[in-house]
Structure 1
Amino acid sequence: MREPLHSPQPNEAPFALYRGRLVTRGNLWSDVRELARRLPERPSMFNLCENRYLFCVSLLAAAWRGQACLLPPSSQAAVLREIADDYPGAYVAAEREAQAAGLPWFEVAATQSGAAAPEPDYDWRHPAVIAFTSGSGGRPKPCVHSLGTFRTSALMALSSLGLGQQPRLLLSTTPPQHMYGLETSVFWPLFSRLVLHDGKPFFPEDIRRIAANAPWPALLASTPTHLRALVKAPGSWDEIAGVISATDALPEQLAGQIKTALGRSPHEIYGSTETLSFANREPLRDSLWRPYAGARLIPDAAGQTRLESPHLPDPVWLQDDLRIEPDGRFNLLGRQQDMVKIGGKRASLAELNRRLKDIDGVEDGFCYLQETETGEGRLAAVVVGTADKQSVRQGLRPYVDEVFLPRRVHFAESLPRNAVGKLTKAELERFLANLA
């Protein structure tokens, strides 16, 4: 079934700021049609565009041509080659030629004509996006989503967060190739009055400058890792109208620092590459997550939980352990594979990491299970910051059992986090090997 996306805004409404120029929705559709006309006749593209607006145009142009947009967990040549083996005929779409392991390259450049056009007709059920898991659990796994899935998910999220009718500049520090960045900075603007910003600002002063010069107040979508740097930066953040966080738990202490520094109580959204986002919370008001209206969490006798939601064609089994309250809200206990067992007792590494990063003097860090010479598991920690071993153990002691206090604490200048603040399995293994 082919039909327009039914964007709620007219063609004259603002859609994006692209290289400082205002792009209307009519301009967007003109750029999409022009790019779609020039795309090679191939089944799928690796969308490696760094400019967020060009990424959006490429994705929509490919979808109109019936091509799948492949979103790898990284742009490393070996990763692209591994995925390309399963998708014959795939090509790379980007502003500049990439080291893409011999894959054909198509140069993406938006027109500057300022022409306007109506929305194209789309097949909502076509597999428009194939995103791949980050590799934190091993080989990247494909997750297929249609434009219909993204549209319904976006409308659910915008309604739950009260953002659908607010004119705000959506300022994201997360690349659009990541599901969190894709949802919030590309699809949310498509179905609301939010305006896409084409960049990926990194330094606090870049964010402040963009927000200060924007025609609208800014909604900042970022990660806990990035927000830690922002709260330390001096100066005012008057132009920030709201803060969204995802990819990792937002500790209550950091949430309080964000409210103090930016003047806004942050909101978190929760989801995965497999599910898209489906729940939110405001951690300074409620520690429990609330599913979007229409989303249902159903536990089974074995303790696993499946998600049923209007945006998903089929139920999805979650990889996280949840404790679901009678009213449907839930507590996130951690990923099933991150549960550690020592001396007959169990704990979640995600919860231990959250407690670790709440300790004064700890800027970043993580806990991990270290095998001793006798084959027993003992907890160890890596810390970035000024805290010493004693303060780390004392900071954890009120919250965890004695067996989960780290026996060894390593100190590092930084952690090998990726663009969205995650520690992938491969990078973590290399980091710990070098540490040893």
Structure 2
Amino acid sequence: MTALAAQLPDRPYLFNLCENRYLFCICLLAAAARGQICLLPPAGQMAVILEILQDYPGAYIAREHAPQQTGLDWFEVIAPNSEITASPPHFDWRCTAVIAFTSGSTGKPKPCPHSLNTFKTSAEMAVSSLGLAEQQVLMLSTTPPQHMYGLETSVFWPLFSQLVLHDGRPFFAEDIRQTIKSAQWPTLLASTPTHLRSLIKAEASWDNLTGIISATDTLSEKLAGETAAILGQSPREIYGSTETLSFASRETLRENLWRPYSGCCLTQDKKGQTCLESAHLPHAVPLQDSVQIEADGRFAVLGRDQDMVKIGGKRASLTELNRRLKDIDGVEDGFCFIQENGRLAAVVVSKLNSQAIKLSLQPYLDEVFLPRKIHFVTEIPRNQTGKLAKIELEKLLTGLIARN
């Protein structure tokens, strides 16, 4: 790592786009040793990188192979010679080492700077609170390390515990199953609800799987139950954001409330604004979600203000409507949105017809929240973490409206 740090270009910023998780990890640490800041874009598309580059001039790309876009400074990251011994690198633990960007699901991606100390303290709190501190298991993630969820669980948790870093990112269900089956250690899978929906379709045994963690979207009780029945492990959700990192968890099939990690505390002012105070953060961070805090510190997530829709004097959460929609047997994916006329509509990937979908929603939703129009598509353009960026959402809806 010391040798890699010496080889890096003399620049203040780099886009760490390594796909191999081990190379990503040593590149991040080598950059930190040089006082360089890793920029982690919310998506790997070159247009997104070029947009961020405008605010961070002089940044270069670090990865295993050359980018398709020519004219960008690029550094090839190669695994160091393990036989060469070098003095351990020196880190300034409290300086910004990483700037991660929000997913863009609610607008332009926002930069969120974090230090190595923040990641270290957060990782130690997380693995301790989740009972993983003394476990030597393989940490397998379906989320790229450039995303905060993947960065925490598959890079920093192994760095500061006995968890074992897995350098790949198998994507298809059978590849994931075979990776777990052939692993040298029992395997803990960190995934997303979108990915779990594909995994439960695999008609095979999930040997060597010791646990499942889910994040990036709400895991419904139905999907959690199917996951437990088919994969043999009851999933545990973790809750957090790019701004805060993860700070709470719950076992979906056993509890509705979120339990903060030890050392984390939520506070609420008179206006209802909730802030997270924690040992891993240099100052209190306001949450984007509205929450209800119980006397024992556990909390319920009520949703975001912009997530609430009001029709006919009644209110509902789009997140809850989406959950009900995706829980329908025969609906592979979908989401709800408000049309220009103020009525609710939906986009689905399904072989069911509109009537069947509405009948399936009817027992759970008020009449005013049943979608008046249902658009059928072959695929919803979600990113690698299962989220739908605002720009992709707008493009999709524009195309559907033009078609109709």
Residue 195 of structure 1 is aligned with which of 152, 161, 164? 164
Q: Secondary structure at the match of 1:123?
A: coil
* Change in 2 beyond 3 A, CA 1:429/1:171: same
C-alpha separation between the residues in 2 aligned to 1:73 and 1:172?
17
Residue 414 of structure 1 is aligned with which of 371, 379, 386? 379
C-alpha separation between the residues in 1 aligned to 2:273 and 2:327?
29
Q: Secondary structure at the match of 2:343?
A: strand
- After alignment, is 324-333 or 137-146 more displaced? 324-333
Residue of structure 1 equivalent to 2:364: 399
Residue of structure 2 equivalent to 1:145: 114
Quick check: 1:175–1:181 contact (8 Å CA) kept in 2?
A: yes
C-alpha separation between the residues in 1 aligned to 2:150 and 2:361?
32
The amino acid that maps onto 2:397 is L
Structure 1 segment 241-252 matched on structure 2, within 5 A = 241-252=210-221
C-alpha separation between the residues in 1 aligned to 2:270 and 2:313?
22
Unaligned runs of 5+ in 2: none
The amino acid that maps onto 1:418 is N
C-alpha separation between the residues in 1 aligned to 2:307 and 2:70?
34
Residue of structure 2 equivalent to 1:18: none
Q: Provide TM-score, normalisation by structure 2.
A: 0.96
Residue of structure 1 equivalent to 2:184: 215
Residue of structure 2 equivalent to 1:281: 250
Question: Once the 2 structures are TM-superposed, how far is the Cα of residue 428 of structure 1 from its aligned partner?
Answer: 0.8
- After alignment, is 109-118 or 204-213 more displaced? 109-118
Structure 1 segment 27-426 matched on structure 2, within 5 A = 32-100=1-69, 102-117=71-86, 119-372=88-341, 377-426=342-391
The amino acid that maps onto 2:59 is A
Question: Once the 2 structures are TM-superposed, how far is the Cα of residue 173 of structure 1 from its aligned partner?
Answer: 0.6
C-alpha separation between the residues in 2 aligned to 1:118 and 1:287?
48
Q: Secondary structure at the match of 2:355?
A: helix
C-alpha separation between the residues in 2 aligned to 1:387 and 1:295?
44
C-alpha separation between the residues in 2 aligned to 1:100 and 1:306?
41
Quick check: 1:384–1:414 contact (8 Å CA) kept in 2?
A: yes
Quick check: 1:90–1:103 contact (8 Å CA) kept in 2?
A: no
C-alpha separation between the residues in 2 aligned to 1:327 and 1:391?
43
Q: Provide TM-score, normalisation by structure 1.
A: 0.89
Quick check: 1:95–1:108 contact (8 Å CA) kept in 2?
A: yes
Quick check: 1:71–1:130 contact (8 Å CA) kept in 2?
A: yes
C-alpha separation between the residues in 1 aligned to 2:284 and 2:100?
18
Question: Once the 2 structures are TM-superposed, how far is the Cα of residue 333 of structure 1 from its aligned partner?
Answer: 1.7
C-alpha separation between the residues in 2 aligned to 1:360 and 1:295?
38
The amino acid that maps onto 2:94 is R
* Change in 2 beyond 3 A, CA 1:74/1:283: same
Question: Once the 2 structures are TM-superposed, how far is the Cα of residue 300 of structure 1 from its aligned partner?
Answer: 2.1
Query: Aligned residue pairs: how many?
Result: 401
Taking only aligned residues, the RMSD between alpha carbons, in angstroms, comes to 1.3
C-alpha separation between the residues in 2 aligned to 1:173 and 1:433?
30
Quick check: 1:306–1:316 contact (8 Å CA) kept in 2?
A: yes
* Change in 2 beyond 3 A, CA 1:303/1:388: farther
Question: Once the 2 structures are TM-superposed, how far is the Cα of residue 238 of structure 1 from its aligned partner?
Answer: 1.4
C-alpha separation between the residues in 1 aligned to 2:70 and 2:86?
37
C-alpha separation between the residues in 1 aligned to 2:340 and 2:57?
42
C-alpha separation between the residues in 1 aligned to 2:24 and 2:380?
28
Question: Once the 2 structures are TM-superposed, how far is the Cα of residue 386 of structure 1 from its aligned partner?
Answer: 3.0
C-alpha separation between the residues in 2 aligned to 1:386 and 1:348?
26
Question: Once the 2 structures are TM-superposed, how far is the Cα of residue 116 of structure 1 from its aligned partner?
Answer: 4.5
* Change in 2 beyond 3 A, CA 1:342/1:221: same
Quick check: 1:364–1:385 contact (8 Å CA) kept in 2?
A: yes
Quick check: 2:2–2:87 contact (8 Å CA) kept in 1?
A: no
Quick check: 2:40–2:147 contact (8 Å CA) kept in 1?
A: yes
Question: Once the 2 structures are TM-superposed, how far is the Cα of residue 100 of structure 1 from its aligned partner?
Answer: 4.7
C-alpha separation between the residues in 1 aligned to 2:398 and 2:38?
35
Question: Once the 2 structures are TM-superposed, how far is the Cα of residue 118 of structure 1 from its aligned partner?
Answer: 5.3
- After alignment, is 79-88 or 178-187 more displaced? 79-88
Question: Once the 2 structures are TM-superposed, how far is the Cα of residue 364 of structure 1 from its aligned partner?
Answer: 1.0
Question: Once the 2 structures are TM-superposed, how far is the Cα of residue 101 of structure 1 from its aligned partner?
Answer: 6.6
- After alignment, is 275-284 or 327-336 more displaced? 327-336
C-alpha separation between the residues in 2 aligned to 1:344 and 1:302?
23
Unaligned runs of 5+ in 1: 1-31
| Deviation >4 Å, runs of 4+ | none
